[in-house]
Amino acid sequence: MRRHHLSMLCVVLAGLAGCDGNRQSADSAAPAKSSGIPTTVTDIAASDLPPELVSLVKSEVPDMQIEGAERKEREDRIYYDVEGRRADGSEVELDILQEGGAFKIVEIQRDIAWSEAPQAARDAAAGAQNKFEPVRVIESKQTDGSVIYELFTDGAPEKPALEVRFMEGKAEILEEEWPH
pLDDT of residue 157: 80
Closest CA to 71 of 115, 104, 26: 26
One-character DSSP codes across 51-107? HHHHHHHHHHSTT-EEEEEEEEEETTEEEEEEEEE-TTS-EEEEEEEEETTEEEEEE
Residue 55's alpha-carbon distances to 37, 51, 93, 146, 179, in angstroms, are 31, 6, 15, 24, 25
Side by side, which strands form the sheet with 170-173? Answer: 40-44, 65-74, 77-85, 91-99, 102-112, 136-142, 147-152, 162-167, 170-173
Pairing mode, if any, of strands 91-99 and 162-167?
unpaired
pLDDT of residue 180: 53
pLDDT of residue 158: 77
For residue 123, what are the β-bridge partners? none
Residue 126 parent element (H or E): helix 119-126
pLDDT of residue 142: 92
pLDDT of residue 17: 36
pLDDT of residue 131: 82
Can you give the pLDDT of all 180 residues of the chain as single tens digits?
543 443 443 333 333 333 344 444 444 333 443 335 677 999 999 999 999 999 999 999 999 999 999 998 887 889 999 999 999 999 999 999 999 889 999 999 999 999 999 999 999 999 988 889 999 999 999 988 999 999 999 988 878 999 999 999 999 999 877 755
Burial of 47 (0-12, 13-18, 19+ CB in 10 A): exposed
* Angle ∠(132,134,140) on CA atoms, nearest 5: 125
